[in-house]
Amino acid sequence: MPQAMAFPVDVDREYSKIIDFLYSFERFGILLGLDNVSSLLAAIGNPQDRFKSVHVAGSNGKGSTSSFINAIVSLSGYDTALYTSPHLNDFRERIRIKGKFISKEDMIRSTEKIRPHHNPERTTFFEYTTAIAFDCIAAAKPDLAVIEVGLGGRLDATNTITPLVSVITDISREHEDYLGAGIKTVATEKAGVIKKNVPLVTGASRKEAREVILATARSLDAPAFEFGRDFRGTRTSLNSFDYRSTAMSLPGLRLAMSGAHQIKNASLAIRVVEELINQGFNLPEAAIRQAISTTQFPGRFELLRRNPDVIIDGAHTPEGMRLLRSAITKLYPDKKPYLLLGILKDKNVETLVRTIAPIAKKVVCVPPHSDRSMEPEALARLAQDMSVPATPMKSIEEGFNALMETAGQDDVIVAAGSLYMIGPVRRACGKNDE
């Protein structure tokens, strides 16, 4: 366990101070590279080497795929840990041990353990929080940890682990200010998570991305398994599908999450499970079926309330936004939704707006909870240039309340454009994530 410390009477107050301390590192922004985090982890005993893991990278579907894997392994009777980002409301959502948020006490202990070793002039928010996650996970001694990449892959702080299986979900253009322009360049960064002789499961569909990923796998003697070639999920009804690979057949799987893209994410997770079974895990069919039919991932085409229907989706890449548009038009073929839209500056903003705005009756533009948020006025102008009524508002809460006052009981409100939109909208609908 992290080193012992005496807790003050008011743990909540101490936890609040820790969160303020961590967020002070946001002033350094995003600095990709492994030198800082490797030194930090070495100073605390390299906790990343003390647990077995699955590493999940990609542009779309990372969170859902990670959640499916975690659920299947957990329902099979194993102790699991799950590290994802960003969080919706509480930082501790990022680190889940045995299905529960990491405790505030363990967060405080680990943060204080790391504090003497960080570089106050350079350590980034994600480097420090990844070190906390790995320290807490190692202390909990899970049977398996599912680790989601933060940004990119090759130079992401999580790429200090050597997993049992690597996963690369679908690839689209994203974070090009950091990863470089074009699908091929982005795919090269994602392929950086592939390790020598470690099996790879991938759902990359674009030719350029596939070529980069498969070439990297070949160069590292990493067995590669492709969705659509080595395994597949075939939709049989609105929320059911058949899974098939060379070694496994699972007909009639039921999905709790909506959207055809979740069939692909679930199939990726099942193929990872096959690799884990090959490495000695006992993961029965019943656990797979139960996990697929019950796993929910907040903010992924999530219906928050009825009359009016409110749907939240963290779509923030062109592919993610196309999938969201398709899901909305299929589910509500005769309705134009009201759209609550917030996007970060480092996204492909014009493409995102061009994809989703035309199906909207009206767009309310708001700033996501991030210092990288696009100004609502600039976002509204982009929608207005497409002849879509658009209004900027100062906050997510103000924009959502305005749409709730406007919408009738038979209308649909869709909130999208950033993962940083999810928490405030869920709170506004009375959702509690713990």
> Is residue 139 situated within a structural domain?
yes
Q: What is the pLDDT of residues 123-151, one digit of tens each?
A: 899 999 999 999 999 999 999 999 999 88
> Is residue 285 situated within a structural domain?
yes
pLDDT-based confidence at residue 52 (cuts at 50, 70, 90): very high
pLDDT reported for residue 403:
96
Q: What is the mean pLDDT of residues 95-99?
A: 95
> Is residue 433 situated within a structural domain?
no
Q: What is the pLDDT of residues 211-264, one digit of tens each?
A: 999 999 999 999 999 999 999 999 998 789 999 999 999 999 999 887 778 999
Over the chain, what is the mean pLDDT?
Answer: 90
Statement to judge: residues 192 and 57 lie in one domain: yes
Q: How far apart are the first and last CA of the chain?
A: 23
- pLDDT for residue 62 is more than 60: yes
Q: Within 10 A of 122 (CB to CB), how many other CB atoms are there?
A: 12
Statement to judge: residues 38 and 170 lie in one domain: yes
Return contacts of 1-9, CB within 8 angstroms, 24+ apart. Answer: 1/106, 1/109, 1/139, 2/106, 2/109, 2/110, 2/112, 2/113, 2/135, 2/136, 2/139, 3/109, 3/112, 3/113, 4/109, 5/108, 5/109, 5/112, 7/105, 7/108
pLDDT reported for residue 117:
94
State the CATH number of the domain containing residue 386: 3.90.190.20
Alpha helices per DSSP H over 332-375: 349-356
- pLDDT for residue 177 is more than 70: no
Statement to judge: residues 289 and 309 lie in one domain: no
Statement to judge: residues 374 and 275 lie in one domain: no
In the block, tokens 């103000």 appear at 398
Chain CA centroid to CA 235, Å:
23
> Is residue 3 situated within a structural domain?
no
pLDDT-based confidence at residue 2 (cuts at 50, 70, 90): very low
Q: What is the mean pLDDT of residues 351-360?
A: 94
Q: What is the pLDDT of residues 275-313, one digit of tens each?
A: 999 999 999 999 999 999 999 877 778 889 999 999 998
pLDDT reported for residue 74:
98
φ/ψ region of 348 (left if φ > 0, alpha if ψ in -120 to 50, else beta) reads beta
Statement to judge: residues 59 and 161 lie in one domain: yes
Among candidates 345, 355, 346, 295, which has minimal Cα distance to 324? Answer: 355
Residues 6+ apart with CB under 8 A from 423: 87, 88, 89, 369, 433
Q: What is the pLDDT of residues 387-396, one digit of tens each?
A: 999 999 999 9
> Is residue 206 situated within a structural domain?
yes
CA–CA gap between residue 411 and residue 226 (Å, rounded) = 40
DSSP letters of 397-422? HHHHHHHHHH--TT-EEEEES-GGGH
Residue 301 to residues 12, 21, 271, 422, Cα–Cα distance (Å): 32, 33, 23, 11
Higher pLDDT, 267 or 182: 267
pLDDT reported for residue 314:
83
Q: What is the mean pLDDT of residues 43-60?
A: 96
pLDDT reported for residue 370:
81
Q: Last residue of some domain: 256, 275, 294?
A: 294
Residue 253 to residues 265, 266, 287, 330, Cα–Cα distance (Å): 13, 10, 12, 21
Statement to judge: residues 351 and 221 lie in one domain: no
What are residue 83's DSSP bridge partners? 95, 147
DSSP letters of 222-273? --EEEBTTTEEEEEEETTEEEEEESS-EEEEEE-SS-STHHHHHHHHHHHHH
Percentage of the residues of the chain whose pLDDT score is greater than 70: 94
> Is residue 173 situated within a structural domain?
yes
> Is residue 99 situated within a structural domain?
yes
Among candidates 127, 84, 55, 80, which has minimal Cα distance to 314? Answer: 84
Statement to judge: residues 115 and 32 lie in one domain: yes
Tokens matching residue 169: 């979900």
> Is residue 4 situated within a structural domain?
no
pLDDT reported for residue 31:
66
3-class SS of residue 77:
coil
Statement to judge: residues 133 and 112 lie in one domain: yes
Tokens matching residue 343: 């996007």
3-class SS of residue 200:
strand
Statement to judge: residues 326 and 373 lie in one domain: yes
CA–CA gap between residue 197 and residue 164 (Å, rounded) = 10
pLDDT reported for residue 240:
94
Q: Last residue of some domain: 294, 321, 347?
A: 294
Q: Tell me whether strands 231-237 and 240-245 are parallel, antiparallel or unpaired.
A: antiparallel
In the block, tokens 């995003």 appear at 30
pLDDT reported for residue 28:
61
Statement to judge: residues 335 and 288 lie in one domain: no
Statement to judge: residues 396 and 255 lie in one domain: no
Question: Whole domain around residue 399: which residue ranges?
Answer: 302-428
Residue 64 to residues 39, 84, 91, 341, Cα–Cα distance (Å): 31, 10, 19, 22
Statement to judge: residues 118 and 164 lie in one domain: yes
Structural contact between residues 374 and 429, judged by C-beta atoms closer than 8 angstroms:
no
What does DSSP assign to residue 102?
A: P
Q: Lowest-pLDDT range, 10-24, 166-180, 203-217, 353-367?
A: 166-180
pLDDT reported for residue 434:
54
Stretch (H or E) spanning 391 = strand 390-392
Percentage of the residues of the chain whose pLDDT score is greater than 90: 70
Q: Last residue of some domain: 294, 318, 347?
A: 294
State the CATH number of the domain containing residue 166: 3.40.1190.10
Provide the number of structural domains found in the chain: 2
